[in-house]
């Protein structure tokens, strides 16, 4: 099955809110995410949200596959994916605590 067909099936099961899980990005279930899978699923999610009149906020700040692929082998392992997510979450929490993120405004 092609990535396009598989990602269509995955798009039907993407969460409406929150981050997309690793397994949804791993369209062919081979245990890694390729850049093709990553961008296809992310674009499908953006399209799904736009059709529901709920465009993704901060889409311009969404991480790029290349920044997540630490060893630059063209594939994201579950470990790379989770490490990136954890680091991003920690940075967001740090920025919020310093009044630099989501709704804190200038204080």
Q: What is the pTM of this model?
A: 0.72
Distance of CA 55 to the CA centre of its chain: 15
- Helix, coil or strand: residue 76: strand
With bands split at pLDDT 50, 70 and 90, how would you rate the model's confidence at 101? low
Whether the pLDDT of residue 27 is over 80: the answer is yes
Region 75-86: what's the mean pLDDT? 95
Of the candidate CATH numbers 3.40.50, 1.10.287, 1.10.238, 1.10.30, the domain formed by 3-76 belongs to 1.10.238
pLDDT at position 104 is 47
Residue 5's pLDDT is: 54
Domain-wise residue ranges, the chain? 3-76
106: exposed, middle or buried (Cβ count in 10 Å: 0-12, 13-18, 19+) = exposed
List pLDDT tens digits, range 32-41: 999 999 999 9
DSSP-derived letter for residue 60 is: G
**Binning pLDDT at 50, 70 and 90, where does residue 75 land?**
very high
């Amino acid at each position: 099955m092609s990535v396009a067909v598989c990602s269509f099936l995955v798009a039907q099961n993407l969460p409406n809110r929150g981050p997309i899980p690793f397994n949804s990005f791993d369209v062919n279930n081979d245990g890694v995410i390729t850049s093709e899978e990553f961008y296809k699923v992310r674009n499908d999610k953006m399209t799904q949200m736009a059709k529901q009149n709920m465009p993704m906020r901060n889409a311009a700040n969404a991480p790029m596959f290349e920044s997540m692929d630490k060893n630059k082998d063209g594939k994201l392992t579950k470990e790379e994916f989770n490490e990136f997510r954890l680091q991003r979450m920690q940075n967001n929490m740090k920025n919020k605590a310093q009044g630099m993120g989501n709704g804190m405004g200038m204080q």
